[in-house]
Amino acid sequence: MNSSHLSSPPSKRVKLEPHSPRLEDSSTRKTYDEDENAENTEDENNCSICLQGFVDRAVVPTCSHEFCFECLNVWTEQSRRCPLCSQNIGEYLIHSIRSRYDYRKYYLTPLRKPSPSPVPALRNARQHVRRYRRERVWGRRREEDRTEQDRLELSIAKRRWIYQHDLYAKHVASNAYTKYRPYPTPAQFATSQELISRTTTFLRRELQVWEGLDVEFLTTIIISLMKSIDIRSESAVKLLSEFLDMDAPYQPGGRQVNAEHFAHEVYCYVRSPFRDLFVYDTVVQYDTSSDIPPPPQPRQATRWRRTSHSRSRSRSRHRSPRQ
């Protein structure tokens, strides 16, 4: 028998090229896509002035563009127009943003001389690309923010209506079903960051019921007070009345309408399990009568309403929310 029929056919050796065009195209395409996605993410997380990551994100209230607070503050010393869209910045900046309704306002001092034109460096092609991308994203965010701001305005109007008609939140028992808890002692409150954070958010909104208050200052004072004494104690009510009942001097044994009511509402919220103020608004109950008109609709206002002050302002003598 011929030996050629017994031997195995020689194996074919496939020559592997160092670079396969097809694989190279696929890998290159993937790399390009990843680079583009990374660039988009980087652009949205970087300040357009310093080109670095945001440090204390600040927002121009008239156009919603974002920058580092320090970068934007330095910019406003030379110009009062947005570096991206050239809209007028206005009289203040939004910064220290913790949520859509928890932020600070920084009021700008008047310029000493006319604003110079924007620096040419912000007009290059790279800046136009960044502006386009950012405005495309903010176009969607603006609508969401307007809706959120409308909800905040409506909730403040309802809280003001509650004080005007002397409506007190109804008591809810503390148990596993309601998840309400006994009111904490000052020591418990002082050691609970969760309670302090929730209460701070509530105070920043609740104090907007009275116009002209320095919300940030009073919030700090009340939080410190609650770490020492019960919010409903006579000493606490007396202190609160100096800001909320200024048209009715404190008298021992007399009723401080706004201060007592305010202390009760804070007490009820602190006992509740809710962090979201809008959810709490739908759960808390009040005894109302048919002769009480419904809560008024909020007046039309700009997107960022003047609610708090990052600088001390003199306060008005009138504090009663009653009409």
Query: Tell me: the pLDDT tens digits for 182-230?
Result: 999 999 999 999 999 999 999 999 999 998 899 999 999 999 999 999 9
Q: What is the largest CA-CA distance in the chain?
A: 126
66 and 142 within one domain = yes
Of the three residues 120, 146, 172, the one that is the final residue of a domain is: 146
Of the three residues 283, 298, 316, the one that is the final residue of a domain is: 283
Decide if 7 is inside a domain.
no
**231, pLDDT greater than 60:** yes
Domains identified in the chain, total number: 2
pLDDT at 300: 53
Of the three residues 89, 123, 146, the one that is the final residue of a domain is: 146
Mind listing the pLDDT tens digit for each residue in 136-189? Answer: 666 566 666 667 778 888 999 999 999 999 999 999 999 999 999 999 999 999
Q: Is 222 exposed, middle or buried (0-12, 13-18, 19+ CB in 10 A)?
A: buried
Decide if 210 is inside a domain.
yes
Decide if 158 is inside a domain.
yes
Decide if 234 is inside a domain.
yes
155 and 212 within one domain = yes
The chain-wide mean pLDDT, for the chain, equals 77
Work out the pLDDT band at 127, boundaries 50, 70, 90. low
Mind listing the pLDDT tens digit for each residue in 4-32? Answer: 444 555 544 544 444 444 444 545 455 44
Decide if 83 is inside a domain.
yes
Q: Structure pTM?
A: 0.51
Contact (CB, 8 A) for 228 and 235? no
Q: Which domain holds residue 136?
A: 57-146
**Closest listed residue to residue 219, CA positions, set 106, 319, 107, 104:** 104
109 and 209 within one domain = no
155 and 142 within one domain = no
Helix, coil or strand: residue 103: strand
Decide if 308 is inside a domain.
no
112 and 80 within one domain = yes
